[in-house]
Structure 1
Amino acid sequence: MQKEKNIRRFSKAELEELRARGESRTDLARVQVKTAEELERDIASDPDFSDMAENWYESAEAVMPTPKKLLSLRLDNDVVDWFKQQGPGYQTRINAVLRAFIQQSQKRRA
């Protein structure tokens, strides 16, 4: 697995100290001062949004995550390799594919 160079780890005590000083772990202040044009440009240049429909949010649903269940599952090597080649988060993607299958199956039965 490839590690990111810019990851910084904090202990619980360090995070509590940051919060007590009013410091944030985000760049919200930097985002808040951007103009609408700058935000649009940033979104347009983001590869994660390159193939998104302009009105994607109209059919979006807020979904609260549910606790995961730990289990041992045997999958074909080529299936696991393909998901891993897509990058970090392959287990989450496998879960999303299974969830989509369930949702489509339920729609066909309804």
Structure 2
Amino acid sequence: MTEKSIKTASLAELKAMKERGEVSSPSRNATQIDLPEGFWDTAKVVEPKDKKSVHLRLDADVFDFFNRQGKGHISRMQAVLRSYVDAQSSK
């Protein structure tokens, strides 16, 4: 999702939009997604790994790069680090 696709509205604005028919509540009878036969046959439960809290000093431009992308910048940094670790571990 990009920043341009995120919109904000007050509760009053949302109520007015609903009255005009611009938005609607999700249907209680929404259909479920059809999954192929055997989709869950090889599923595994993956427990989250323990996290370790650390104090980390970063170059300002590196932090700013991730921070400019909005909410979730710490998770994106973690994903980059995870990708690097996985790539190095497979060597």
Q: TM-score, normalised by structure 2?
A: 0.50
Number of aligned residue pairs: 59
Distance (whole Å) between structure 1 residues aligned to residue 79 and residue 62 of structure 2: 14
Is the radius of gyration larger for structure 1 or structure 2?
A: 2
CA RMSD of aligned residues (A): 2.9
Aligned partner of 2:18 in structure 1 is none
Whether 1:86 and 2:69 are equivalent positions in the alignment is yes
- Give the AA of the match of 2:53: L
Shift in Å, 1:31: 5.8
**Unpaired stretches in structure 2, ≥5 consecutive residues:** 1-7, 11-25, 34-43
Distance (whole Å) between structure 1 residues aligned to residue 76 and residue 51 of structure 2: 14
1:72 equivalent among 40, 44, 55: 55
- Give the AA of the match of 1:65: P
| Identity across the alignment (%) | 36
Q: CA 1:100/1:62 → structure 2, altered by over 3 Å: closer, same or farther?
A: farther
Q: SS state of the match for residue 70, structure 2?
A: coil
Q: TM-score, normalised by structure 1?
A: 0.43
Q: CA 1:72/1:66 → structure 2, altered by over 3 Å: closer, same or farther?
A: same
Distance (whole Å) between structure 1 residues aligned to residue 86 and residue 76 of structure 2: 15
Indicate the structure with greater helix content.
1
Distance (whole Å) between structure 2 residues aligned to residue 5 and residue 68 of structure 1: 35
